[in-house]
């Protein structure tokens, strides 16, 4: 993982299992202060060694008074480093320092009015809790309240601050100002984090590591691997080879577009047309997890075969980004619903001297900004998330070339129409269901799969709401799909949120 440059001030975000840890770190970086997420179990000695200017404790799903709820080391409170506890973080702070936390009969979920006790008018803030602080530890005072709880508290002398609400959420009015006040007025931040500095540091590091040798990258055409390829071709021009495995599950024209963009860059692009091979392996396979597994394994096999033809290449690059590292860091997690397979995983049989991950300190939106700076087309940089196994998990049941063809067309129509919306959903696509339905086209009876449309709005994809697309647009998509694709005669719109559904149908 990338450490901050020696010149960067650092804020630590300690994870206690809350959903918003990345949002917190990203909000801090958005305020020009470098933030890293660490486990809530980090020791006080490790913290001291990192020398942060401030610490933020995240929320978490447990009750602080349960024996197995995560707790920080008690030494933290006496380090003299300013600490802001958010939600569970505030409850843990108060509980560990002698205050009292209890569970109320009803929770506060959603936007709630918070009234400051001294300065400022009431404001609206996002709350998501049932436990609340009912007695403060000695030396603390209440700074704001809601109708039913202490909304914030502080012990200025010890530089300890707690908020029950979520200042990192866009639903909290002036949440950014609140965080900015903590960073700049309390922690003494100077605002020395800039994306450009990060990039020049990475370019120097890549040059130092790779020298005059060659480096290999699995290019998927997704935002991360594309930006990674562009950064590497800038850092070590002519030394990068990209292997782009076309598994045949890309969207309409996508594989050609990727080839067109990267064949203009200062790198060597190898496109492997492996469509038939993947389809062959998936013959008769209907179960989603089995599809993911087969595609993942086959991908690595194809990649290895191609890489071996190139002879020894000492370095292997990956477009790993910061949330990938945070999510796989063994923190305090929930259940695994899907084995999110990212095509482009590390081939085990190839013997590389070193793995290079130049984006591993960046959040997704920072990667997009970097992509724009590197001159990638906006269509690629703003690409909505697309699963590694691609359309294979959007053709329900067994995959055939014909079904893929139908889905590609339906999906292209859906995206073309929604691309025109001013505020676009976070992700939108078509699914070819495995339900056959009777229709009538001309004088003929049809009996073909139903096409489902999916569009969701979310910030983190862990939860999402289905997007309320205007009926006019839905009608147009439906009419176009049934008119332009022979045999498709039924289109439905998915109106479930996550949970209980997931974004993808498989």
Which residues would be at the binding site for ligand XMP (CB under 6 A)? 292, 337-338, 340-342, 385, 387-389, 427, 461, 498, 502-504
Q: Is the peptide bond before 355 cis (omega within 30 degrees of 0)?
A: no
Nearest approach in angstroms of CB 502 to ligand XMP is: 3
Helices (H), 419-464: none
Nearest approach in angstroms of CB 39 to ligand XMP is: 24
Give 276 or 340: the residue with its C-beta nearer to ligand XMP. Answer: 340
Rounded CA separation 266/154 (Å): 55
Q: Is 397 exposed, middle or buried (0-12, 13-18, 19+ CB in 10 A)?
A: middle
Q: Is 337 exposed, middle or buried (0-12, 13-18, 19+ CB in 10 A)?
A: exposed
Residues 6+ positions from 177 with CB-CB distance below 8 Å: none
Region of residue 336 (phi > 0: left; psi between -120 and 50: alpha; otherwise: beta): beta
Rounded CA separation 69/404 (Å): 47
Helix 364-373 to helix 195-210 angle (10° resolution) is 80
Give 207 or 333: the residue with its C-beta nearer to ligand XMP. Answer: 333
Give 90 or 243: the residue with its C-beta nearer to ligand XMP. Answer: 243
Nearest approach in angstroms of CB 393 to ligand XMP is: 6
User: Backbone phi, then psi, for 401, in 5-degree steps?
Assistant: -60, -40
Give 288 or 449: the residue with its C-beta nearer to ligand XMP. Answer: 288
Closest CA to 380 of 211, 221, 191, 179: 221
Beta carbons of 236 and 215 less than 8 angstroms apart: yes
Closest CA to 85 of 2, 10, 182: 182
Nearest approach in angstroms of CB 427 to ligand XMP is: 5
DSSP type of residue 385: P
Give 17 or 222: the residue with its C-beta nearer to ligand XMP. Answer: 222
Give 375 or 385: the residue with its C-beta nearer to ligand XMP. Answer: 385
Rounded CA separation 51/47 (Å): 6
**HSE toward the beta carbon, residue 438, CA cutoff 13 A:** 3
Give 87 or 223: the residue with its C-beta nearer to ligand XMP. Answer: 223
Beta carbons of 12 and 38 less than 8 angstroms apart: yes
Determine how many CB atoms are found less than 10 A away from the CB of residue 180.
20
Give me the active site residues, please.
Answer: 87, 166, 168
Nearest approach in angstroms of CB 476 to ligand XMP is: 24
Q: Give, in order, the Cα–Cα distances in Å from 161 to each of 9, 109, 133, 183, 313.
A: 20, 22, 13, 12, 51
Closest CA to 230 of 91, 371, 326: 371
Nearest approach in angstroms of CB 228 to ligand XMP is: 15
Beta carbons of 117 and 145 less than 8 angstroms apart: yes
Give 24 or 456: the residue with its C-beta nearer to ligand XMP. Answer: 456
Beta carbons of 318 and 356 less than 8 angstroms apart: yes
Nearest approach in angstroms of CB 360 to ligand XMP is: 17
Q: Give, in order, the Cα–Cα distances in Å from 50 to each of 38, 53, 198.
A: 11, 9, 18
Q: Are strands 83-86 and 160-163 parallel, antiparallel or unpaired?
A: parallel
Give 337 or 495: the residue with its C-beta nearer to ligand XMP. Answer: 337
Nearest approach in angstroms of CB 62 to ligand XMP is: 24
């Amino acid at each position: 993982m990338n450490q901050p440059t020696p010149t960067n001030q650092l804020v630590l975000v300690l994870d206690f299992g809350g959903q918003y840890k990345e949002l917190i770190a990203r909000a801090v970086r958005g305020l020009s202060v470098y933030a890293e997420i660490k486990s809530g179990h980090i020791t006080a000695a490790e913290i001291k060694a990192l020398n942060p200017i401030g610490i933020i404790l995240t929320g978490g799903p447990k009750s602080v008074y349960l024996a197995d709820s995560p707790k920080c080391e008690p030494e933290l409170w006496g380090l003299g480093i300013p600490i802001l506890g958010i939600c569970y973080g505030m409850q843990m702070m108060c509980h560990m320092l002698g205050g009292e936390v209890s569970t109320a009969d009803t929770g506060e979920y959603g936007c709630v009015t918070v009234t400051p006790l001294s300065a400022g008018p009431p404001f609206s803030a996002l709350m998501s809790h049932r436990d609340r602080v009912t007695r403060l530890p000695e030396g603390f005072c209440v700074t704001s309240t809601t109708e039913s709880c202490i909304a914030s508290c502080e012990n200025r002398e010890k530089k300890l601050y707690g908020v029950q609400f979520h200042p990192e959420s866009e639903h909290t009015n002036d949440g950014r100002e609140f965080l900015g006040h903590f960073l700049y007025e309390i922690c003494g931040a100077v605002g020395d984090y800039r994306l450009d500095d990060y990039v020049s540091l990475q370019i120097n590091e890549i040059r130092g590591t790779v020298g005059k040798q060659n480096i290999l990258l699995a290019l998927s055409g997704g935002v991360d691997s594309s930006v990674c390829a562009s950064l590497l071709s800038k850092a070590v021009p002519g030394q990068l080879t990209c292997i782009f495995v076309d598994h045949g599950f890309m969207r309409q024209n996508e594989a050609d577009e990727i080839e067109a963009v990267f064949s203009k860059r200062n790198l060597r692009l190898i496109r492997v047309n492996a469509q038939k091979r993947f389809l062959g392996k998936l013959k008769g396979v209907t179960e989603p997890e089995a599809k993911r597994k087969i595609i993942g394994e086959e991908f690595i096999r194809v990649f290895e075969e191609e890489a071996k033809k190139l002879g020894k290449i000492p370095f292997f690059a990956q477009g790993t980004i910061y949330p990938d590292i945070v999510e796989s860091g063994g923190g305090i997690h929930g259940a695994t619903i899907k084995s999110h397979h990212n095509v482009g995983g590390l081939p085990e049989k190839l013997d590389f001297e070193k793995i290079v991950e130049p984006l591993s300190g960046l959040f997704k939106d920072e990667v997009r900004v970097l992509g724009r700076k590197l001159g990638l087309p906006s269509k690629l940089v703003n690409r909505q998330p697309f699963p590694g196994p691609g359309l294979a998990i959007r053709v329900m049941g067994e995959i055939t070339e014909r079904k893929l063809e139908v889905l590609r067309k339906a999906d292209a129509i859906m995206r073309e129409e929604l691309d025109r919306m001013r505020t676009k959903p976070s992700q939108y696509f078509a699914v070819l269901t495995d339900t056959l339905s009777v229709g009538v086209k001309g004088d003929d009876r049809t009996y073909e799969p139903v096409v489902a449309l999916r569009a969701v709005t979310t910030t983190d994809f862990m939860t999402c709401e289905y997007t309320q697309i205007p009926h006019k647009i839905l009608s147009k998509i439906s009419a176009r799909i049934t008119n332009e694709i022979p045999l498709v005669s039924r289109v439905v719109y998915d109106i479930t949120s996550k949970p209980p559904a997931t974004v993808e149908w498989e």
